[in-house]
Amino acid sequence: MTGLAADLGYSHHSANPLHRLVRWGAGTRPGGWLFSHSLRRMDDVVGRLTKGRHSAPSLLAGLAVVDVTTTGRKSGQRRTSHLIATPYAGTLALLGTNFGQPATPAWVLNLEADPRATVTYRGTSREVTARPATPSETDEVFALAGEFYPGYLNYRERVGESRRIRAFVLEPV
């Protein structure tokens, strides 16, 4: 296997009963709201306590998390987001679901303004360009993401027509 996902060693594994419960709960409306408002702080604490070896989603839900560093569209400052990527066609894809909340995540707007980014997983970093996924690629990515985290399908349904969930395919530079 070759490509960005293999180069980083990035993949998702089967979930134990606790992971399945957390994945289900995070996909609900209340769970999405809770995680959208607390996950970043939980992730910072877990990262400090484990010296960067784990993230809150990896411990709670058994999901692999990448750090995606973008350039802020307004500030020009480098911004890092902890995201769950979907292995797709040898590379990785990102879905801007924001836990099914009404607002588009800032990292999405940053990538639209400047598609250059750095992806880091377990200490290995790669420079990438994020290109918008085509509509058919977006459907494929959602289907693949739904296999390891059904919450993505709930988010897509919940957001409906209120906003467009952007999908990006990461291409190594």
| pLDDT digit string, tens, across residues 97-116 | 998 888 999 999 999 999 99
End-to-end CA distance of the chain: 19
Task: Break the chain into its structural domains and give their ranges.
Answer: 4-172
Return the CATH number of 4-172, one of 1.10.10.10, 2.30.110.10, 1.10.1740.10, 3.40.390.10: 2.30.110.10
User: For 1-5, which contacts have Cβ atoms below 8 Å and span 24 or more sequence positions?
Assistant: 1/90, 2/90, 3/89, 3/90, 3/91, 3/172, 4/90, 4/91, 4/92, 4/119, 4/126, 4/128, 4/170, 4/171, 4/172, 5/85, 5/87, 5/88, 5/90, 5/91, 5/92
> Has residue 129 got a pLDDT over 90?
yes
| pLDDT digit string, tens, across residues 56-67 | 888 888 889 999
- What does pLDDT average to over the chain? 91
Instruction: Convert 100-118 to b/e letters by CB count within 10 Å (16 or more is b).
Output: bbeebbbbbbbbbeebebb
> Has residue 122 got a pLDDT over 90?
no
For residues 50-78, average pLDDT: 89
* 3-state secondary structure at position 173: coil
Q: What is the distance between the alpha carbons of residues 48 and 81, in angstroms, rounded to a whole number?
A: 16
**Contact, 19 vs 61, CB < 8 A?**
yes
